[in-house]
Structure 1
């Protein structure tokens, strides 16, 4: 059984891939510009997720309204690690904070929120390990869009192909199309603060 909390992602020496699902009205201009542009909102929190299957569960394989286009957004590891370093957990966990009041103050002032949710199987079942979500507030979204993004790829055709294989009982074919994800290591300080297992 894998550790309960670890970051698993598609990454290389310089970059990491995170996944987001948007309406065509937001996705198409972003693909054209290779960064997010209006009507993408710079005023509300945006959540980035390195787990492909977690986003598939959340967007119902790109079938939920407003989440029809699945984007693989490649960002710099420096940006990703900047976000993790600024992250505060979305709920109080004894041991991670000195007190509930300590957590409450840090969370209220956080520019980045971090949440752990059950990881998902290919068929959407909850797994006994967690997947990280990172929420970027309006204070860091500009940096995300203007400095961190290296490229944006439309994964929608791939998502539909995987989903079609699943629906027709060909899970083995579906599995072969999944993006490769492996454990992403972080500093001891970030690991302790975000409760990432060793």
Structure 2
């Protein structure tokens, strides 16, 4: 009985805090609490958010994630609630390859302890995928990094040559091949081989 009371009071706390809307996308349907994984303490209002069914499903199953749904983080990432900031940060990090989430991550402000909490749920996620992209010096590359080309590279299927010394910003990673990354050169999205780039 006591556990049920605690759960109900926790839900009431979240309803009050959120104004009875999803703290991520502002939806008012199918609302329930979502306990933030890898939290520093047991489930409380401080380590939970009030989220709609769509957000909860996508948070729990990466296969279900629809990138456009998360454009709502453009607003909710400014929440003053640390748990909401953590979830926003992790989802933006997960979607970095889309391009626009990196812009939001660059703008996002978090207290240092909240940032550490957010990162705690990311480390194991990346290692579980198995593929590690490394530049010519063996430095690990992540989506959103910037690299410089170490030699002139002919772009397949075009007459374009990407010149040595060109900086390529906000790269995305090929999730099938650890030797390939993608980035824009002269406005054109091209595939680059990691052996010929150096992380900036």
Normalised by the size of structure 2, how large is the TM-score? 0.23
Which is strand-richer, 1 or 2?
Answer: 1
Which structure carries more relative contact order (alpha carbon 8 Å, separation 6+)?
1
Q: TM-score, normalised by structure 1?
A: 0.23
Structure with a larger share of its residues in helix: 2
Q: Which has the larger radius of gyration?
A: 2
